[in-house]
Structure 1
Amino acid sequence: MIEKVQLLLQEFEQKQEAGEIETFTVQIFTDSLHIKPEPGLASASQRIDLSTELLLTFEIFLSDTKVIVHNSPEYLTLKSLLNTQGTLERMAQNKTQE
Structure 2
Amino acid sequence: MNDEEWSAVQYQFDESVDLLDAFEQAAIEHLEVSNERTIVIYSHTIFDLEVDTGSLADAQSVSVEVFDVSSDHSAPNDPDPVALTESVIDELTATVRVGWVRC
Q: Please give the range of the TM-score, normalised by the shorter of the 2 chains.
A: under 0.3
The structure with the greater share of residues assigned to helix is 1
Higher CA-based Rg: 1
The structure with the greater share of residues assigned to strand is 2
Higher relative contact order (CA 8 A, sep 6+): 2
TM-score normalised per structure 1: 0.28
